[in-house]
């Protein structure tokens, strides 16, 4: 199936979708550094390239043509009027609205979305209810499941909610629930190297972990001294950018290409912002 990679980042969705046999026809990413990595990693020749989703016109969206799937790991900023139960109208002013806007014009068979687990109970559940209401109004039946990256072959404890919307009146099978054997590994914390005040009060930043266990969830604060620390070969050190990319399921060949066009600071940030390729690949198999 053909898909558009919205809020594309470095292409975690794309890697997973392509490995399941799907084809990317357009991508949209506002961050110039992430875009540089994306274009270094993926063959985007002949594809439609978009930058700021909020500035994409209806004409430009229509020019994408027929697509079967919109993929998006959308940023989760607060919904200012969530809970008023006005469906599609309640999403205006948020980046989720851009997904809804693209969907209203392109009418793909599937919407494939990812967000933090906390989206489910944000604002006492009103935010997620608003999202479901908006998608229902657009004609999509929605299923979702919280999945942990550690159960998909990468040693990272990362829980995310994955959402699949299916356009009513089109054929298709249920995607969720996805049944996986749960990993029995856990995070093994060995101690702290400094007081948490040294890291802006974030307690995770000073913690040291054993490589025999899981890495904690990578976050978007990577780039300074905030990467997870491990004790290995008798020394404490932070994870390298390459190791962070591996924790998100990216092959080394992708990292090597991104490293040629970006600094370590950006590479850390990009890993923290990405979706986990392995989880996307598994879900994409069912589309």
Q: What is the CATH number of the domain that holds 245?
A: 3.90.120.10
CATH of the domain at 106: 3.40.50.150
17, 139: one domain = yes
pTM over 0.85: yes
- Summarize the confidence of residues 189-208 as an average pLDDT: 64
- What domain count does the chain have? 2
| Same domain assignment for residues 151 and 54 | yes
Predicted pLDDT of residue 228? 80
Do residues 55 and 152 both lie within one domain?
yes
Q: Is the pLDDT of residue 199 over 60?
A: no
Is the same domain home to 107 and 236? no
Q: Is residue 181 part of a domain?
A: no
Residue 267 inside a domain? The answer is no
In a domain, 16, yes or no: yes
- Catalytic residue, chosen from 24, 71, 76, 205, is 76
Q: Cα separation of 145 and 128, whole Å?
A: 13
Cβ atoms of residues 72 and 99 within 8 Å = yes
Tell me the range of 165-169, 172-176, 200-204 where mean pLDDT is highest: 165-169
Residue 116 lies in a domain: yes
Q: Which residue has the higher pLDDT, 194 or 17?
A: 17
Residue 166: the pLDDT is 96
Two structure tokens written together for 125: 């559940």
160 and 115 in contact (C-beta within 8 Å)? Answer: yes
- Mean pLDDT over 25-50 rounds to 97
Q: What is the pLDDT of residue 13?
A: 98
Query: Are both 92 and 51 inside the same structural domain?
Result: yes
Let me know whether 222 and 102 are in one domain.
no
pLDDT at 69 over 90: yes
Residue 24 annotated to the active site: no
Q: Which secondary-structure segment (H or E) carries 27?
A: strand 23-28
- The answer to whether residue 180 is domain-embedded is no
Question: CB burial class (10 A; 0-12, 13-18, 19+) of residue 146?
Answer: exposed
**3-state SS assignment for residue 271:** helix
The answer to whether residue 42 is domain-embedded is: yes
Instruction: For the chain, give the mean pLDDT.
Output: 90
pLDDT of residue 196: 47
**Full residue range of the structural domain in which residue 230 is found:** 189-251
Task: Using alpha carbons, select from 113, 32, 22, 23 the residue that is nearest to residue 9.
Answer: 32
The pLDDT of 12-23, averaged and rounded, is 98
pLDDT score at 77: 61
Residue 32 counted as domain residue: yes
Token pair for 132: 């479901």
Kindly state whether residues 223 and 279 are assigned to the same domain: no
Q: Are 250 and 40 in contact (CB under 8 A)?
A: no
In a domain, residue 160? The reply is yes
Give yes or no: residues 125 and 193 share one domain. Answer: no
User: Do 74 and 194 sit in the same domain of this protein?
Assistant: no
Residues 88, 129 within the same domain:
yes
């Amino acid at each position: 199936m053909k898909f558009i990679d919205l809020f594309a980042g470095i292409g975690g969705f794309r890697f997973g979708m392509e490995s399941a046999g799907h084809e990317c026809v357009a991508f949209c990413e506002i961050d110039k550094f992430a875009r540089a990595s994306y274009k270094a990693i993926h063959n985007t020749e002949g594809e439609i390239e978009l930058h700021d989703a909020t500035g994409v016109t209806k004409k430009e969206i229509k020019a994408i043509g027929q697509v079967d799937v919109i993929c998006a790991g959308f940023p989760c900023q607060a919904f200012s009027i969530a809970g008023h139960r006005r469906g599609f109208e309640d999403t205006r002013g948020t980046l989720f609205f851009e997904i809804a806007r693209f969907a209203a014009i392109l009418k793909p068979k599937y919407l494939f979305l990812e967000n933090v687990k906390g989206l489910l109970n944000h604002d006492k559940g009103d935010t997620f209810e608003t999202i479901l209401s908006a998608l229902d109004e657009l004609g999509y039946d929605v299923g979702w499941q919280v999945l942990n990256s550690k159960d998909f072959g990468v040693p990272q404890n990362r829980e995310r909610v994955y959402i699949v919307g299916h356009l009513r009146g089109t054929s298709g099978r249920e995607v969720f629930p996805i049944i996986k054997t749960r990993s029995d590994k856990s995070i093994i914390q060995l101690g702290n190297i400094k007081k948490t005040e040294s890291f802006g009060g974030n307690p995770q930043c000073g913690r040291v972990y054993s490589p025999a266990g899981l890495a904690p969830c990578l976050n978007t604060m990577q780039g300074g001294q905030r990467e997870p620390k491990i004790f290995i070969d008798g020394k404490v050190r932070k994870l390298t950018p390459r190791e962070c990319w591996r924790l998100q399921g990216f092959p080394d060949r992708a990292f090597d290409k991104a490293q040629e066009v970006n600094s370590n600071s950006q590479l850390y940030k990009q890993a923290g912002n990405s979706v986990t390729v392995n989880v996307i690949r598994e879900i994409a198999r069912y589309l």
